[in-house]
Amino acid sequence: MDYIFDEIIDRKHEKYSYSFKWKSPDYVCDQLGIESIPENTICLETADMDFRTAPEIIEDLKGLTEHGIFGYSLIPESYREAVCGWYARRQDWTFSPDDIFYFPGTHEAIAQLVKHYTKTGEGVIVLTPCYGYHGDVEKNGREYVEVRLINDGKEYFTIDYDALENACKDPNNTMIIMCHPHNPTGRVFTHEELVKVADICRRNGVLIVSDEVHSDILRKGQEFEPMMKACGPEKLIACTAINKTFNLAGLAMTNVVISDPDLKLQSAGLYSMPSPFGIQAVISAYTRGDAWVDALNEYIDGNIDACMNYIAEHLPKASLSRPEGGYSLNIDFSPYGLSDEEVVDRIYVKAGVILNSGLFFDDWRGKQVHRACLSSPRSVCLKAFERIAEEFKDCQ
Ligand SMILES: Cc1ncc(COP(=O)(O)O)c(C=O)c1O
């Protein structure tokens, strides 16, 4: 089947669109101190996609809609088999269907894991600059402990093992949240990196939670190795989801994998059941979604190439590195030598393009670095950079 990713869907006005990204750029503006933005903004912030999910999934959800009864729903055995099948097939990672614990979303999962496996006041380590786990940690009364990644100056990041060892040696720090692939840096950690991190954590009694929700979205030539496959199940919990892979984040279906018998959750502490739409989406995605994900990855590679080429030609001073995983490009505008306010004004207000600034990610060079999610039709992504380049052309 041919899949179409070029169609522009109006997520701001169309009936049935409740898009957080397109309808609520206000939180970005508040964070950056912007009073008003143009009506015709292009939103490349928030890691979701502007593509319809796989037609195979839509077909099954239509079938469910026609069934017409949406009562309390149980996870069937076929759901667990679908999850196991996907990871065995796509990532050569096998685990038992009994190792799967459903949570309504990954944040909910991580917040619950933090609550369950750590004590109030303890520290949870995060390799930063990182996507927002602050709430999951701090709202539970735990301490968010940063171990900064090493930036080579061109926005390529590696792990500072000495700093990690020091943080793990502190007996108050009892958990690490690994973001693998790493958002926003786009790193897909190698086997050696994963093994070294696991070794440091386990020697110091630090429980590993590996958030792998971006693991199906990989740039060409990259291979993803699940941390549990690389390092074994001992003192390690993995978070997987259909949210990013299939643009189904709104269904909030996260599958946590726990294969270490010493860690088994007796109860996930949940009060609600998954919706039948979520259950069906997981089954359909993981049994019928392979070809769509392969086509998606090819399309995103094309977006990354097109935008990187455009930036090299029209924003030549901007600094960036090619992502290994995910669909975001991080662009450092500091070589332009403009003030923070000027950079923000040119991109967000004058060009009308909404990105995520470094402030969002543990203050990664503040308002000079901006993350663009290239998970929109190519023409939209390029239009955004055309608008930005126009605003920087006086200082090339
Ligand atoms: C690494 C990572 N984990 C978790 C989430 C949120 O997942 P969920 O929508 O399932 O809570 C995101 C969203 O951007 C993310 O990038």
Output the domain CATH number for residue 104: 3.40.640.10
Looking at the structure, tell me whether residues 277 and 302 fall in a common domain: no
My answer on whether 282 and 302 are in the same domain is no
Q: Are 257 and 238 in contact (CB under 8 A)?
A: yes
Same domain for 273 and 207: yes
Decide which of 261, 288, 315 is a domain's last residue: 288
Report the pLDDT value the prediction gives residue 34, as an integer from 0 to 100.
87
Q: Is residue 278 domain-shared with residue 296, that is, in the same domain?
A: no
How many domains does the chain contain in total?
2
Reported as a pLDDT band with limits 50, 70 and 90, residue 188 is very high
**Do residues 284 and 296 both lie within one domain?**
no
Shared domain check, 80 and 188: yes
Q: Which atom of ligand 1 is nearest to the CA of 252?
A: 10
Q: Which residue's alpha carbon is nearest to atom 14 within ligand 1?
A: 47
CA of 106 to the centre of ligand 1 (A): 6
Residues 336 and 257 in one domain: no
The per-residue pLDDT for 168 is 98
Say if residue 270's pLDDT is above 80. Answer: no
Determine, yes or no, domain membership for 5: no
Ligand 1 centroid from CA 197, angstroms: 22
Query: Is 297 found in the same domain as 240?
Result: no
Residues with CB under 6 A from ligand 1: 47, 105-107, 131, 179, 183, 211, 213-214, 241, 243, 249, 254
Task: Using the atom order of ligand 1, give the atom closest to the CA of residue 241.
Answer: 10
Pocket test for ligand 1, best of 28, 103, 107 (most atoms within 8 A of CB): 107
Question: Do 121 and 222 reside in the same domain of the chain?
Answer: yes
Q: What is the structure's pLDDT at 94?
A: 98
10 in a structural domain: no
pLDDT in tens, 11-65: 988 999 999 988 777 788 888 888 888 888 999 999 999 999 999 999 999 999 9
Question: Is 9 within a domain?
Answer: no
14 lies in a domain?
A: no
Q: Domain containing 46 — which CATH number?
A: 3.90.1150.10
* Position 326 pLDDT exceeds 80: yes
Pocket test residue of 243, 256, 330 for ligand 1, highest count of atoms within 8 A of CB = 243
User: What angle, 0 to 180 degrees and rounded to 10, lies between the N-to-C axes of helices 378-392 and 290-314?
Assistant: 20
- Nearest atom in ligand 1 to the alpha carbon of residue 243 is 10
pLDDT, tens digit, for every residue of 348-377? Answer: 999 999 999 888 888 877 899 999 999 999
Domain boundary among 288, 314, 348: 288
81-137 residue pLDDT tens:
999 999 999 999 999 999 999 999 999 999 999 999 999 999 999 999 999 899 999
Q: Fill in the amino acid letter for 297.
A: N
Q: What are phi and psi of 57, to 5 degrees?
A: -70, -40
328-332 and 369-373: which strand pairing?
antiparallel
Alpha-carbon dihedral angle through residues 223, 157, 122, 195, given to the nearest 10 degrees: 40
Tell me the C-alpha distance between 191 and 167, whole Å: 22
Structure confidence at residue 266 as a pLDDT band (50, 70, 90): low
Whether the CB-CB separation of 293 and 245 falls below 8 Å is answered with yes
Question: Which residue range forms the structural domain that includes residue 233?
Answer: 57-288
Q: Are residues 95 and 143 in the same domain?
A: yes
Q: Are residues 114 and 153 in the same domain?
A: yes
Same domain, 158 and 65: yes
* 386 lies in some domain: yes
Tell which one of 130, 183, 254, 371 to mutate to probe ligand 1, the residue whose CB is within 8 A of the most ligand atoms.
Answer: 183
Q: Is 64 helix (H, G, I), strand (E, B) or coil?
A: helix
pLDDT, position 226? 98
Which of 264, 288, 312 is the endpoint of a domain? 288
